[in-house]
Amino acid sequence: MRLGLLGLGHVGCGVVQLLETQSEAIALRLGEPLEVGRVLVRDPAKPRPVKVNPDLLTTDPSAVLADPAIDVVVEVMGGVEPTGAYIRQALQHGKSVVTANKEIMADQGRDLLALAQEQGVDLLFEGSVGGAIPILRALLDSLTGSRVTRILGIVNGTTNFILTQMAEEGQDFAEALAEAQRLGYAETDPTADVEGHDAARKLAILSSLAFSTDVRSGDVLARGITAITSDDLAYARRHGLACKLIAQAEDQGGFVAAQVAPAFVDARHPLARVKGAFNAIYVYGDGLGESMFYGLGAGGVPTGSAVLGDVLQAARNRRSRVAFSRPLPSRGLAVRSAREAVSRFYVRLETETHASAAADLRRLLLQHGVTLSSFLDQPGQNRGQARFTLVTNPCTLGALEDALQAALSLPWVRAVGALVQMLDLQAGDLAVELPPTVQVEERRMLGRLDVAGPGEGGW
């Protein structure tokens, strides 16, 4: 079996490294050796952390895509074009394709899988979500005995690393991002990660598989973590909460709602304990109850491990003259905007000092149907400034966003600092109990800091 690699960067090198260190085990599992036939790169002269015969490197895509000696093409070059065209060409040449490209699979996956089936070959993409975590194959196979109702988790290691650094090392966002870039967890342009777009692509793939319906990245409402400050994380800590960028999608009977947003979760919940570049994905279903998939969510070697697993599957299938891939079924569910989802929210508003600010803000929120369970009025960072920290009663995200938009038109409101979902998760047996002394301390802080609301009806 011969592989053609498109790209020899982080993931490509991870694949080559694993191929080298595990060549015997792979040959045993496959029944024959697996070798690299050709590798497409941009710059053949570039130094690489793995040893590859320089004669195998090429800058000509057709040397990989049209070489009859290559059985499986591994696309790990990233980007949408020309990458999408290369995947199509490889499939049209009768090669199986393995990709880790979430951008392409989120929005073109359905068409490409149909093409793969037409050609009687495989298109496998486990590495595109959750790095080494085997979540996609589980959703496509093992979990299909249940009706999946909800998916929820941490699917972006970069933002999780940044939030962990901010919470545990007291760094601000810029410092934590710089640290992530220094360690290779964040790209030079981190926009896709920190604005939630990368997580939205992964959630689109997860939702399409879990709910058997067509969810594209544009259907996922994405809010990132750039507005989160160490003050918000300090608030979370004082209240026994942790801040995470959560991707969540739900089959609400007839339609799907999907969003990526910062959320406060109970610090005892296992999701709160997912640190650094790790990912965790919960799957809820009628038959299966609640399952959590946890592991290294990115990195060249962990992702290379998922990619190589797919390569072995594709290679075995070619030997048996079968194909594993099939078009994704679609129930044609509508995708409803997550603005209609109901939750409690934490909001930090930065204002100028203004005599009737508190009353005006409450009135404005009430006009949009938003009532509060907690309202904290503090001095701002500088003289003449104030900060309002609110927690709403359950309301729609849309109503709250409209109210905050209206607040921004008030001359003394400077900025909506942070808007974070208060995620009420039932952790069941998975809850991690904190020692009683910590709980007492948290309750004490809660009592001291929050101005109690008037109860059920809100403010």
Ligand X SMILES: NC(=O)c1ccc[n+]([C@@H]2O[C@H](COP(=O)([O-])OP(=O)(O)OC[C@H]3O[C@@H](n4cnc5c(N)ncnc54)[C@H](OP(=O)(O)O)[C@@H]3O)[C@@H](O)[C@H]2O)c1
Interface positions with ligand X (CB under 6 A):
7-12, 40-43, 46, 76-78, 82, 100-102, 127, 131, 298-300, 303
CB-wise, 201 or 269, nearer to ligand X? 201
At position 169, the amino acid (one-letter code) is E
One of 46, 51, 102, 202 is an active-site residue; which one? 202
Residues 6+ apart with CB under 8 A from 182: none
Tell me 366's DSSP state.
H
CB-wise, 122 or 232, nearer to ligand X? 122
CB of 157 to ligand X, least distance (A): 8
At position 83, the amino acid (one-letter code) is T
According to DSSP, the β-strands at 334-336 and 255-266 are parallel
- The verdict on whether 202 is a catalytic residue reads yes
CB-wise, 10 or 137, nearer to ligand X? 10
CB of 39 to ligand X, least distance (A): 8
Residues 6+ apart with CB under 8 A from 330: 110, 212, 213, 214
Q: How far is the CA of 162 from the CAs of 167, 183, 184, 226, 270, in angstroms?
A: 9, 11, 12, 10, 18
CB of 42 to ligand X, least distance (A): 4
Would the CA dihedral through 240, 243, 246, 248 be positive or negative? positive
- Sequence-ordered strand ranges (E) for 353-384: 372-379
CB of 455 to ligand X, least distance (A): 47
CB of 273 to ligand X, least distance (A): 22
CB-wise, 104 or 404, nearer to ligand X? 104
Distance CA 259, CA 265 (A): 16
CB-wise, 220 or 372, nearer to ligand X? 220
Residues 6+ apart with CB under 8 A from 202: 102, 106, 128, 129, 130, 155, 156, 247
The 10 Å CB-count burial string (b at 16+, else e) for 46-59 is: eeeeeebeeebbbe
CB-wise, 38 or 268, nearer to ligand X? 38
Structural contact between residues 391 and 374, judged by C-beta atoms closer than 8 angstroms: yes
CA 62-64-65 angle, to 5 degrees, is: 60
Residue 261: name the closest of 177, 381, 341, 147 by CA: 341
Measured in degrees and rounded to the nearest 5, phi and psi for residue 437 equal: -65, -40
CB-wise, 10 or 368, nearer to ligand X? 10
CB of 11 to ligand X, least distance (A): 4
CB of 262 to ligand X, least distance (A): 22
Q: Which residues are catalytic?
A: 202
